[in-house]
Amino acid sequence: MRVALASSSAAETEGIAARLAGWLVSGDVVAVSGELGSGKTTFVRGACRELGVSSPVTSPTFTIGHRYRGLPDVSHLDLYRFSGVSPAEWGDLEPYFENAIVFVEWPEAGRDVLPPPRASVLLQHAGGDSRRILLTADDAALLEGIT
């Protein structure tokens, strides 16, 4: 199933992410794609707030990943600097997937090693602060409560 939504602000993008997060459980992976500046981290921030994360949610571009305490815990990975993920690099990433909901920015780099996503998100610039957000999931029930 695929759902296309429009957002005219960062707050709306966070709200859409929060609605998705309400349906996620520990072990779920969400692939978050889009051009630079399209709102990937903003989307993850909205999901984290819904999941009880109160600490600042920032892009892990230079640290590769953040783990946040929430209900359940949330891992936020950014594979922007990767052209692929080797088995050794997967060993560094694997702990982020334990007992957490995992959001992966730039998932294309890890397509050969990442667990299959429960949902995929594509954010696109739509002029100014507006974004087009495409949500895809095999489980239609996951997206029913979002529209």
Full residue range of the structural domain in which residue 45 is found: 2-144
Report the run of H or E that residue 42 belongs to, with start and end: helix 40-50
- pLDDT at residue 137 is higher than 80: yes
Query: Which residues have C-beta within 8 Å of that of residue 40, sequence separation ≥ 6?
Result: 32, 33, 34, 59, 105, 123
Instruction: Specify the CATH number for the domain of residue 125.
Output: 3.40.50.300
Model confidence over 96-134: pLDDT tens digits? 999 999 999 999 989 888 999 999 999 999 999 999 999
Label residue 11 by pLDDT band (50, 70, 90): very high
Label residue 89 by pLDDT band (50, 70, 90): confident
DSSP string, 9-23: SHHHHHHHHHHHHTT
- pLDDT exceeding 90 applies to what percent of the chain? 78
User: If we measure between CA atoms, which residue out of 120, 145, 92, 106 comes closest to residue 29?
Assistant: 120
Average model confidence (pLDDT) across the chain: 93
- pLDDT at residue 62 is higher than 90: no
What is the number of structural domains in the chain?
1
Question: What's the pLDDT at 91?
Answer: 86
Tokens of 76: 């936020």
Neighbours of 52 (CB within 10 A): 14
